Amino acid sequence: MSVEWAGWSPELLVRLDRAGPLRVQLESALREAIRSGRLSPGERLPSSRAMATRLGVSRGLVQEAFDQLKAEGYLTARAGSATRVAALSAPPAPPAVPAEAQDPPMLADLRAGVPDLASFPRADWAWAQREAARTARTADLGYGDPRGARELREVLAAYLRRVRGPAADPEHLVICGGFAQGLILGLRAAGARRVALEDPGYDAELLEAAGWLGVETVPVPVDEEGIDAGALLASGADAAVLTPAHQWPTGVVLSPARRRALAATGLLLIEDDYDAEFRYDREPVGVLQGLAPDRVLLMGTVSKSLAPAVRLGWILCPPALAGAVARQKAVLDRGSPLLDQLALAALLGSGRYDRHLRRTRALYAARREALVASLALHAPHVRLSGLAAGFHAVAHLPAHLSEDEVIAAARERGVGLYGMSAHRSDGGTAPPRLVLGFGNLPEQVIREAVPLVAPLLR
């Protein structure tokens, strides 16, 4: 896509070494820029007057160079119009991927963890960004507090206390770039060396991040009550990463007895509250942090509630750890983009965020119902679990089926399915399970996709 300029002459890097004919040098530099793709077809060049001034040469020399390149077909211009790169001067296109190497067209991709991207509240976000730009103080345009904008931390603390029940103090909140960054900040600040992860649980990317930090990870099994507290204590870990409200990916809720047991340990507990806003047929589950605020580091983001592209999250730190996390944030990147933080603060403070959640909660509830009803009709023997919150479900397949074979066959039918094995520490495929995401799929697509793969699930 070429850049359009509203009346201004664009900048263009051209070097002349003065060791030879200047016009020849200019022609060669422009020709090479076009051939290499540095100048795209249709892109506007500076005016001859502007280029002559910047290069310290005569305007006539520049016009002669332009005329030569027009004659060669590299440039084009009409009377009263700017000089542009000709469309025929595009660099050769890369070779096409052979047809046999291409995946078949995808009708439906049931990848979990992806929200409805089309529901992003564009109008509300645009309003919030305008509000942020309008109300930002001059001092706000500097680096500022690495913990984040005071306005966002205050409104976020109030929001969390209202809907999730933690002991939330703005002084102990640090705004970050999402869960992965928050996890790195928390582990580095705490000096953790051996970290327990739920099994099944986190994916390879987070294991890689832990390895990058030099942190040893140990899997701890999850059952119908959540993480096994006894196995966790026996693991020798000094920290644990948990998803108590809606375990990822099984969907189980950490039982009250396990919550009390974990709160009584001396471990640092990192609580990932990743999709708690979306609940359907159960009472809200409060955060574990409320039971042990001095040892639980609560993390959340807007990646599920708004969109991953916003890249904003938060860490509610134990009081003794807040300063260390803020220092890590300052060293890492000096703080998250402040104008976006002010926009999120405006969204939260205006009630528009709550309104958006009400809309999307109803949307996901309808898509959940479409998935449940379609499987009940076309594959009634497949049991679903983990449906009380979020926007994914776990399908329990008959024991004789192979996860890998079902996934491969579904791909041939244009449906993307994903197995539980990707979330197990040993990669095991037994018992066979599918993790079905329905957040980013319209109801009609779900109803069309299930009958296509239902025969594979028998």
Instruction: Write the pLDDT tens digit of every residue in 386-422.
Output: 998 899 999 999 999 999 999 999 999 999 999 999 9
Question: Per the domain annotation, does 125 fall within a domain?
Answer: yes
What is the CATH number for 403? 3.90.1150.10
pLDDT value, residue 172: 98
**For the whole model, what pTM was predicted?**
0.84
346 and 265 in a single domain? The answer is yes
> Which of these three, 301, 330, 350, is where a domain ends?
350
User: How do the residues of the chain divide into helix, strand and coil, expressed in percent and rounded to 5?
Assistant: 45, 15, 40
Decide the pairing of beta strands 415-416 and 108-109: parallel
Same domain, 299 and 395: no
Regarding whether 272 and 189 lie in a shared domain, the answer is yes
Q: Give the pLDDT of residue 277.
A: 82
**Which residues in the chain come in under a pLDDT of 50?**
1-7
173, 242: one domain? yes
Nearest CA-CA partner of 163 in 287, 267, 76, 56: 287
| Domain-located, residue 11 | no
Whether residues 324 and 412 share a domain: the answer is no
Residue recorded with tokens 């100048």: 39
CATH code (residue 44): 1.10.10.10
- Which residue blocks in 379-414 are alpha helix, DSSP H? 403-412
Question: Which among 315, 350, 385 is the end of a domain?
Answer: 350
Residues 157, 234 within the same domain: yes
Looking at residue 139, the DSSP 8-state letter turns out to be G
Boundary-marking domain end, from 350, 375, 399: 350
Quick one: 388 and 342 in the same domain? no
Residue 440's pLDDT is what?
95
Same domain (yes/no): 185, 169 = yes
Q: What is the pLDDT of residue 6?
A: 44
Is residue 131 in a domain?
yes
Look up the CATH number of the domain holding residue 286. 3.40.640.10
> Buried b vs exposed e over 239-270: b needs ≥16 C-beta within 10 Å?
bbbbbbbbbbbbbbbbeeebbebbbeeebbbb
Could you count the other beta carbons within 10 Å of the beta carbon of residue 80? Answer: 5
Same domain, 143 and 232: yes
CB 162 within 8 A of CB 182: no
Q: What is the pLDDT of residue 92?
A: 56
At position 140, the amino acid (one-letter code) is: D
Decide if 303 is inside a domain: yes
Range of the domain at 387: 108-113+357-457
* 66 & 189 share domain: no
Report the relative pairing of strands 216-223 and 194-199 from DSSP bridges: parallel
Q: Are residues 158 and 285 in the same domain?
A: yes
- Any idea of the CA torsion for 340, 341, 343, 349, to the nearest 10 degrees? 170
Helix axis angle for 204-212 and 179-190, nearest 10°, is: 30
Same domain? For 184 and 284 the reply is yes
Beta bridge partners of 298: 271, 316
